[in-house]
A and B are shown apart, each in its own frame.
Chain A
Amino acid sequence: EAGVVQSPRYKIIEKKQPVAFWCNPISGHNTLYWYRQNLGQGPELLIRYENEEAVDDSQLPKDRFSAERLKGVDSTLKIQPAELGDSAVYLCASSRDRGFDEQYFGPGTRLTVT
């Protein structure tokens, strides 16, 4: 069984530029999560999808961040425009169902904003 796939693995951009991250969850997993992990800290949830529906986006900075999960499979997280403080690792995870099921994480995208 293939794991969670993310791309790109690394991204360096200048501030005010846009950036997008892509995630392909484990086949059959209905729930998809995007997390942000700052250096030396645990991951923090940005948004959770159940199929196509964003059921929890309370921690997503909506002025510059957006996400979509078309057809309930792949997902894209976008930042526009990026700020210096957005430098972090962006992690995608998936689980078969929400809340009572085990999460599996992708390798992450390390974003550096200069």
Chain B
Amino acid sequence: IVMTQSPATLSVSPGEGATLSCRASQSVSNNLAWFQGKPGQAPRLLIYGASTRATGTPARFSGSGSGTEFTLTISSLQSEDFALYYCQQYNDWPRTFGQGTKVEIK
């Protein structure tokens, strides 16, 4: 299953919102996760089940979608949110990741 993320880069001012998209080449039901990646750190699970926040994920992060179209929304970007974001499907093997969206400071 090929996961396609868009855009590749998103330039946002602190305090603004951001919307990241992830598309699957076939249905993954709601078995979709979002990870946050920062240099020198292991990826951090933010969202699983397409819309369930993992423990410790701030409420400003929300996920939606099912089937093939998914969205990660960050309502008001904080300085610590500027990072790479990856979607991953875990509906089928092999598990596959998208290529990532970099959220950078505008």
Co-assembled chains A and B: no
